[in-house]
A and B are shown apart, each in its own frame.
Chain A
Amino acid sequence: MGKRGVWKLGAVVLAVAMLFAMGCAKKQEVKSGEAAGAPPAAESKAPPGGIVSESLKPEAPPAPAPGDTQVAAAEAGAAVTQERPSPFQDIHFDFDKSFIRDDAKPVLSSVADYLKKNKGARVTIEGHCDERGTSEYNMALGDRRAESARAYLASLGVPASALATVSFGEEKPLDPGHTEGAWAKNRRGHFVVK
């Protein structure tokens, strides 16, 4: 074999070696009913405080992965969680209802009288629910209760500017118990004077 022959043989050997390498490295495609897509490699994102990884198999690309997130800085918070004192009694509602009951009307009359006598005063009507049911729904129900009381006070002649409403849903139970008695107390409208 001449020099040229040796080079050609070498080229063939190299070609064989490359084919081998390609064959071994080619990833087996996966048949699956799922939308499997690529192996779990995240898109390139900076890994915040996080984890970087590389594959130990030759063909898979390294995949930076997002890691832990950071806890937010401390924020000052308004102390809305405590029951705010009131010169008025609470009014109460039926389960999943927001209509004004007869037993609420005397309390509402006294709120209306107070606001008529004290022209500059403002009252916030809080709507509350018992713990049953789900939180988002109870947030909205508490609003309906507060609004219902507001509308009744308006019908007694209280101007809109004197009233505000807020709902706390089921988040501020007055009675932490889990009985019908506790629940009845928690389904309430609460009046806070500013």
Chain B
Amino acid sequence: MMKRLAGLLLIFIAFVLAPAPASAILYIDINAPGGRRMPVALPALVVASGDQSLATSIPKVIGDDLGMTALFEILSAKSYLERIVPAHFSGRTLSFSDWKLIGAEAVVIGKVDARGDQITVELRLYDSTLGNMMAGRRYTGPTRSFRTIAHKFSNEILYAFTGVRGIFDTEIAFTATSRGGRDKGVYIVGLDGHEPRRITDNRSFNLFPRWSPDGDMLAYTSFKTGVPVIYLRNLQDGSERALVKFGNSKSPGSFTPKGEALFASVSVGGNSEIYRVRTNGSNSEKVIGGWGIQVSPSVSPDGRKIAFVSNRGGSPQVYVRDLPGGKDLRISHAGGYSTSPSWSPAGDRIAFTSQAGGKFSLYTVKPDGSDQRLLVSADGDCTDPSYSPDGRYVVYTFQKKGYSELKIISADGRWGKSLYSGLSGVGSPAWSPRR
């Protein structure tokens, strides 16, 4: 009798309590246009030990990241009713009614503990309506990496709401003139625009940084030996080796999608052509030849097509070629001088710069050359576009007379911000892949 009862009970439980096939709680559809923003509160962190400024500097990075998406509204701290205390991390629940009262549908709380030159940061995202923790993570790292930690949690927040991975912890390589000097160095900065770190350290011209697909290496051109050479720099250990030495001028373009080769333009005898160079140095082959200037190769995400600049028509324009050895299609039809193609990692559009009406503006176009649209225009020149790895943003150089600045615009052109202008002569930005 008992046996039977137990058996029936078990079956009953299996049907009633087994997890139902999952259906999403899709808080925000990242692709749906629409004005409503999710109101989020970002109260100050509890700093149990260590630098008290982290209480507000970490939420500020998170707030700026969420602001990039135009999906969230960060509520002002002045309206917050509840103060976050250490007990909230050891069992005390938030007073969700206090947060709902001010309109916060989600709350991010956090705690910092310092140990020597390391910090441990615990961050939690709560849904104030359901009263549950949507995401929570504890990070440990050097104190100076607090912005990267904040960026990583911004990725978690975006994922929790939209199911889409964020790119907030990616970085931008660029070149700038050192103070008072005439040389150019390669730098890397995070999306917060703070404290770029210098990668090259020679008093020469270091140009055109380009990321490998795994984010571990930068290719760039350097004149440090007196003539231009393309180097591959390992960002993990700082080692580098010369990759392309033949010919005269040379500049790296995209790597192939798996990173086994680099497309680069190299001038030989006054003609600049595009080569595919294996990153292990084993060989290089000419991919796009021609009389005149062929530069700036940017490969499609599937590796099958390449956008590039050619002046074969009399002035520089952007073309797309089907690899290998297919025909070339001109895709730029804006101004009389079009250069700097950047193929979106989403595959659907190519950004470039074009001079019309006396200034350079950014455009995007489909890879078949149709649907050309203005992306950004300003009182100055907008050049050097580079897409984010999710294809949702473009970083570019804004220049006017002697002033230059790195700026970011959303791919639909609706949202933008300044990224960095702390050094002179900033330019040539390249957005890193996700790691």
Contacts and interface: CB of A to CB of B under 8 A. Distances in A.
B9 A42 contact: no
B238 A140 contact: no
B72 interface: no
A40 B159 CA distance: 8
A167 to B, nearest CB: 5
A156 interface: no
B87 interface: no
B427 interface: yes
B202 A77 contact: yes
Contact of A31 (B26, B135, B199, B269): B26
B248 interface: yes
Nearest to B315: A96
B139 A75 contact: no
Contact of A171 (B30, B148, B207, B235): B207
Interface string A38-65: 0110100101111111111100000001
Given A69-B235, A136-B251, A77 B203 contact: yes
Contacts of B122: 56
A80 B3 contact: no
Nearest to B381: A132
Given A32-B164, A136-B295, A1 B2 contact: yes
A121 interface: no
A95 to B, nearest CB: 10
Contact of A55 (B137, B144, B205): B137
B184 interface: yes
B78 interface: no
A92 B15 CA distance: 85
A193 B313 CA distance: 36
B138 A167 contact: no
B379 interface: no
Interface in A1-36: 1-2, 4-5, 8-9, 11-12, 15-16, 19-20, 22-23, 26-34, 36
Contact of B202 (A1, A27, A75): A75
Interface residues of A, number: 85
Contacts of B226: 78, 80
Given A72-B240, A77-B224, A143-B267, A51 B145 contact: yes
Contacts of B353: 134
A140 B316 CA distance: 12
A67 B6 contact: no
A71 to B, nearest CB: 6
Contact of A16 (B13, B31, B238, B435): B13
A146 B221 CA distance: 19
B249 A23 contact: no
Interface string B386-406: 000000000000000110000
B14 interface: yes
A181 interface: no
B198 interface: yes
A31 B435 contact: no
B23 A82 contact: no
Nearest to A16: B13
A167 B204 contact: no
Contacts of B142: 49-51, 67-68
B270 A36 contact: no
A168 interface: yes
Contacts of A147: 269-270
A8 B435 contact: no
Nearest to A9: B6
Contacts of A81: 181-183, 203-205
A156 to B, nearest CB: 17
Interface string B326-354: 00000000000101100000000000010
Contacts of B18: 19, 22-23
B104 to A, nearest CB: 20
A140 B270 CA distance: 8
Interface in B147-189: 148-149, 152, 155-156, 159, 162-166, 169, 181-184, 188
Nearest to B251: A136
B19 interface: yes
B197 A69 contact: yes
Contact of B14 (A19, A68, A75): A19
Nearest to A140: B272
A74 B204 CA distance: 12
B140 A52 contact: yes
B282 interface: no
A53 B269 CA distance: 53
A114 B335 CA distance: 44
Contacts of B340: 134, 136
B265 interface: yes
Interface string B1-39: 011001001100110011100111110011100000000
Contacts of B26: 30-32
Interface in B199-247: 199-205, 207-208, 215, 221, 223-228, 233, 235-238, 240
Closest 6 pairs (CB-CB, A-B) = A77-B202, A147-B270, A56-B136, A51-B141, A30-B163, A140-B272
11 contacts: A19-B14, A30-B26, A32-B163, A45-B435, A57-B133, A68-B148, A73-B238, A134-B353, A136-B340, A144-B293, A150-B270
Given A53-B140, A135-B384, 11 more contacts: A15-B10, A30-B26, A34-B164, A53-B149, A80-B224, A133-B339, A134-B383, A136-B309, A136-B340, A165-B248, A176-B402
